[in-house]
Chain A
Amino acid sequence: MIDCDIHPSIPDLKALLPYLPGHWAEMVQTRGMDELNAISYPAQSPLTARADWRPASGKPAATLAQIRSECLDPFGLSIAICNCLYGVQLLFSEDMAAAFAQAVNDWTRAELLDRDPRLRASIVVPIQSIERSVDEIERCAADPRFVQVLLLASGDQPLGKRVHWPIYAAAARHHLPIGIHAGSNYHNPPTAVGWPSYYTEDYVAQAQAFQSQLTSLICEGVFNKYPDLKLVLLESGWTWLPAHLWRLTKYWRGLRMEIPWVDRSPADIVRSNVRLSLQPTDAPPDRAGLERIIEHLQSDELLLFSTDYPHWQFDGLAAWPDGLPKSLLRKITLDNPRATYARLLEPVR
């Protein structure tokens, strides 16, 4: 089993000090910098950590021992991909963001990848600067245990916009999928109609953010320019995908004159280039419903197994959603992740 979305926590900002350049380590102390924890996952919210994965003190999934005993071992994982959600993207200074992104990646390598051969990681990039994001990709890509570039679902600009393309060029060059994870830098309101009152709305709105990004990436022509680039939507939910593609494809038929470079239907592009992690599965109440949605997707290659550990998406070991056909088990837990993450096939060390 390959788990494509787990979330180790940086224990606290002090843990990064050994990995920060001297100036920035000093700034953390001198300026009294606090944690970089985004409001996307409030510390005590039930979703942020399942009750039985919440330690008596400290953060969930903050030590290798926790990750092993709660996730790697019980789920029988051969590989798990770490997507570190630390609020580097929220910073406004590109210098500061570049330093912290580098520290997060180096911490991940030293504290996790070097200590358990089952772990892989995504490259956190300082999206505040496209140039420095490319530099960070180049710096980390030499290590085959970095298997993906990690972006957030909401940022300053839609991800299809051409300013981002050097990131996609670098990712394609190194056979790294672009992983977009739920979350925002909160530089724009979390919804198209402003700031919500409730955290519930923020989390529901993640699905709409992914829909907007998918529209942008397809319509701007990213997959025409980089036909081998894989895009993975992480913790996006996925049952919204057919309805979104029906709408987008209808508008593509009506408005092709605006985007003549999009020479295939959006639904085709998704089937060849886009993948989605399994959890959360926002499932229909009828047991047969999930099978219908797989039928609507017209592909069994789109879903990648994930637990979303330590987020609370299911209880016990029930990461496989009720009603999802068992015939897809091998595809979703093994074949699809391997086909998506080319680097999983490369020897490590």
Chain B
Amino acid sequence: MNVQLRPDTARTTTSRLAIADCDIHPAQRTPRDLDPWMPQRWLDHRETFGAARRLGMQSGPAYPKSQPNASRRDALPPEGGRQGSSLSFMQAQHLDPNNVTLGILNPLGSGQGVANPELSAALCHATNEWQVAEWTSRDRRLKASVVVPYEWAEAAAAEIRLWAGHPDFAQVLLLSRTAEPLGNRRYWPIYQAAAEANLPVAVHAFGYGGAPITSTGWPSLYIEEMTGHAQSSQAGLTSMVTEGIFERFPTLRVIMVEAGFAWAPPLAWRLDKIWKTLRAETPHLKLLPSEYLRRQVWWTTQPMEEPEPRTHLLDTLGWMGWDRLLFATDYPHWDYDDPAHALPLPIPETDRQKFFLGNAQAVYGT
């Protein structure tokens, strides 16, 4: 997980498979990085009242991370700033040695989930401008996410329409822990706009909906929060299927990010079984739930499940289909999956190529 990469002459770009990394986290160097794109009114507001989310703490999580900023200790840029804040160091430590030819940026800690909807919208917009100015315009391998204030769907849809057609934006970014389940109709304008813009919707683990991360209240431990992202993501995806998002928006592509993927087949089996029993409740569904998942949902790989023996994962990959998975490292976070070690399985070269690059190119149309 927390692998330290040291200079290694054998690991040159040319000797390594080209890969896509579908979950990279760019960070702001200073708390003022977004200011150039923020209206003065909201800078003043934030200065005075902060930018509270549905969490108790003013700053820092009540489940302390396992490492500062939940990041690799070796990912601190030599010139200072937090992990993930330096493009040149990201290039030297990650993009170049791992031969990343397509990197999808998922900025966290932007304005998503900020309780004040207008401040959330302003911060999200500034984050998008910042991604272009500081990242995608300076490294063509990197693609940005349209960060949207998803709890205010009309503003989120407007932000999507603003960037639609911009070549630097590859997807729309939501966080998984929403205030209501993701299929709820309050979010439909987001899917409408994303489908029209032909942008996939990525649902990244974490968020600030305010509900406990379990259906049985707040757990005690960081490991429970981390493990729990799989459960909250399953609930969001179940809602999208059941409410008929994939029936209503048949061209919409949804990507589940950083919540693992091995839960997907058993969730699909459960959905299919219970749908057959209860189908009178959801006559708007025309296909088996698993058929919608197979048609319109993808999963990023990190944190990749690690059975013992690892070959058990081949069953999961077979059930899902090799075309469903998008490789991701989660750089610079501590539970980074190293592409050199992430898939130690005997698989055909064509599947390996799809897993590391081809599937991402197909989903993002690059």
* Interface of A toward B, CB cutoff 8 Å: 45-47, 153-161, 184, 187-201, 203-205, 207-209, 211-213, 215-216, 219-220, 237, 239-240, 242-244, 246-255, 257-259, 267, 280, 282-285, 289, 292, 295-296, 312
Contacts and interface: CB of A to CB of B under 8 A. Distances in A.
Contact of A155 (B217, B221, B260): B217
B139 to A, nearest CB: 29
B226 A251 contact: yes
Nearest to A239: B266
Contact of A247 (B2, B176, B262): B262
Given A197-B242, A216-B216, A255-B66, 9 more contacts: A189-B212, A192-B231, A205-B235, A207-B234, A242-B262, A242-B307, A246-B305, A246-B312, A295-B312
Contacts of B313: 246
A283 B183 CA distance: 25
Given A204-B271, A247-B303, A252 B223 contact: yes
B335 A220 contact: no
Interface in B210-243: 211-224, 226-228, 230-232, 234-236, 238-239, 242-243
A216 to B, nearest CB: 6
B203 to A, nearest CB: 10
Interface in B250-295: 260, 262-263, 265-267, 269-275, 277-278, 280-282, 290
> Which among B180, B181, B216, B308 has the greatest number of chain A C-beta atoms within 10 A?
B216
> Which among A199, A239, A253, A258 has the greatest number of chain B C-beta atoms within 10 A?
A258
Contact of B277 (A46, A213, A257): A46
A216 B235 contact: no
A330 B32 CA distance: 67
B315 interface: yes
A193 B227 contact: no
27 contacts: A47-B277, A154-B215, A157-B218, A158-B218, A190-B215, A193-B179, A193-B209, A194-B179, A196-B181, A196-B238, A197-B242, A204-B242, A208-B234, A215-B219, A219-B219, A219-B224, A239-B269, A240-B263, A250-B1, A250-B306, A251-B223, A254-B66, A254-B334, A258-B222, A285-B269, A296-B312, A312-B277
B155 interface: no
Contacts of A242: 262, 307, 312
- 3 closest Cβ contacts across the A-B interface? A243-B262, A191-B235, A192-B232
Interface in B44-86: 66
A191 B181 contact: yes
Given A200-B282, A219-B223, A284-B265, A212 B228 contact: yes
Given A153-B216, A158-B224, A289 B66 contact: no
A195 B266 CA distance: 22
Nearest to A237: B270
B178 interface: yes
Interface of B: 1-2, 66, 176-184, 209, 211-224, 226-228, 230-232, 234-236, 238-239, 242-243, 260, 262-263, 265-267, 269-275, 277-278, 280-282, 290, 303, 305-308, 312-313, 315-316, 319, 334-335
Nearest to A186: B215
B235 A192 contact: yes
Nearest to B271: A204
Given A193-B181, A282-B266, A284-B319, A188 B217 contact: yes
Contact of B66 (A45, A184, A258): A258
B64 to A, nearest CB: 9
A201 B242 contact: yes
A348 B13 CA distance: 73
Nearest to A212: B214
Contacts of B235: 191-193, 196, 201, 205, 208
